[in-house]
Amino acid sequence: MGEEDITENSEIKSLEEINSTVEVPKNASFFKTLMAFSGPGALVAVGYMDPGNWITSISGGASYQYALLSVILLSSLIAMLLQSMAAKLGIVTGMDLAQATRQHTSKAGGFALWIISELAIMATDIAEVIGGAVALQLLFGFPLLIGVLITTFDVFLLLLLTKLGFRKVEIVVALLISVIFFVFAYEVILADPNWSQVLEGFIPVPEIATNRSMLFLALGIVGATVMPHNLYLHSSISQSRKIDRNDKGEVKKAIKFTIWDSNIQLTIAFVVNCLLLVLGGALFFGTNSDLGRFVDLYDALKDSSIVGPIASPLLSTLFAVALLASGQNSTITGTLSGQIVMEGFIHLKLPMWLRRLITRLIAIFPVIVCVILYGGSENAVEDLLLYTQVFLSVALPFSIIPLTIFTSDKQLMGPFANRPIVKYAAWVVTIVLTILNIFLIYTTFAGVN
């Protein structure tokens, strides 16, 4: 892509209300420049520690102690690769992934991809509704139906934050991530795991491939790590920093510091997921506890017969607080992602409050139906999480394949196209993730354990 092409594409801005709104310093120190570019990575990292990932990580520790830490490490490295590619696409071309995909497909193809992306975002939103409603029930005793309805009103929180500026959104998300991090760090310290065994868990063992149930759980961790909306999101919000896209030096600097930001935040997400697995391994390994639900875990943390003398209502309450923080975080990023794909694929703009309200109302409908049909059963509601993750698996190839193609295209990316080693690694990751997700879909519906 030449300089004229880049400028032309930049005229149709992704998330126009925040595009190029954050100033970055000229000739500043490394740290000051990094701070100016920090923020988008936090919004992206939210997707890697959302409520849907919690049970998988904790169950992995409860079932196999620390052996699956190596899988979390691999998943995090894959995430860093794909998210850096998404950010680079946005910075170099001035287009987000939805815009770039639409430009290279027919109108009908773009519409079909928009439907798939919208359904994936709604599936993500359902998970956040469930997480938020369960957290409200655990903290305040609200019936699930009331909790679901309360989650509808977080649209006003997002509207307030965006009125104050995008930097404020980034700060709030980072603070909520900090809550999640410190809650689980505190609980792991109390659990007092064997740290030498924890470190050994980062070394892959053959049993992961030979033990069928262990392999299935490992595939679940890897296959559900990268979610489609995160790639669209990062390719857009990476453009929030004000740079001269026709200045190759500025573009190179923006890519460098945006990737630094992304990798730092994804490292935090990696640590959080490790803490979850270590917590499961330290407290529940060998106890034969059923930890398949948020409520199960909440109850277990205050049961001395399961977790020993550290059991307390405080641990359970902190878990519920972290769950609520995670749900609110993911709500913010889901709204932004929905706006990106709608504007990118079908060029339709809606006021953010209307976009948020429509998405949330659609998301709460199946949850409300489930609550009414099953009389407020947490088990039935949390079963919906399984099916939302399955749909995200279906949608994933439709985002990672175009991303790999576009960022490897020298005509589109110019000197910033993927180097051969990155290109081949990206294709290996793309193919492997696609196969894993197809396998997970098959095993889910075939009832394979």
The Cα 184–Cα 283 span in angstroms is 13
User: Could you tell me what percentage of the chain is helix, strand and coil, using 3-state DSSP and rounding each to the nearest 5?
Assistant: 80, 0, 20
CB distance 15 to 6 below 8 Å: no
The CATH number given to whatever domain includes residue 343 is 1.20.1740.10
- Which residues constitute the domain of residue 88? 3-446
Degrees, nearest 5: CA angle 433-224-282: 125
Degrees, nearest 5: CA angle 203-209-210: 120
| Number of folded domains that form the chain | 1
The predicted pLDDT at position 87 comes to 96
The Cα 252–Cα 40 span in angstroms is 17
H/E run at residue 165 = none
Would you call 18 helix, strand, or coil by DSSP?
coil
CB distance 356 to 342 below 8 Å: no
The predicted pLDDT at position 407 comes to 96
CA 343 to chain centre: 21
Q: Tens-of-pLDDT digits for all 449 residues of the chain?
A: 444 444 344 457 887 878 888 889 888 899 999 999 999 999 898 888 877 677 778 888 888 999 999 999 999 999 999 999 999 999 999 999 999 999 998 888 888 988 888 888 877 777 777 788 888 888 998 888 888 888 777 666 666 766 777 788 888 888 888 988 998 899 899 888 999 999 999 999 988 878 877 887 787 777 667 788 899 999 999 999 999 888 899 999 999 999 999 999 999 999 999 999 998 888 888 776 666 577 777 888 888 877 777 878 888 898 888 888 887 777 677 778 888 888 889 887 777 677 667 766 776 777 777 777 766 555 666 666 666 766 777 788 889 999 999 999 999 999 999 999 999 999 998 898 888 777 777 776 766 55
Q: Which residues, including other chains, have CB under 8 Å from residue 39's CB and lie 6 or more apart?
A: 22, 166, 167, 170, 171, 174, 240, 261
Q: Is 249 left (phi over 0), alpha (psi -120 to 50) or beta?
A: alpha
The Cα 37–Cα 238 span in angstroms is 9
The Cα 220–Cα 242 span in angstroms is 39
How many residues make up the chain in this entry?
Answer: 449
CB distance 377 to 130 below 8 Å: no
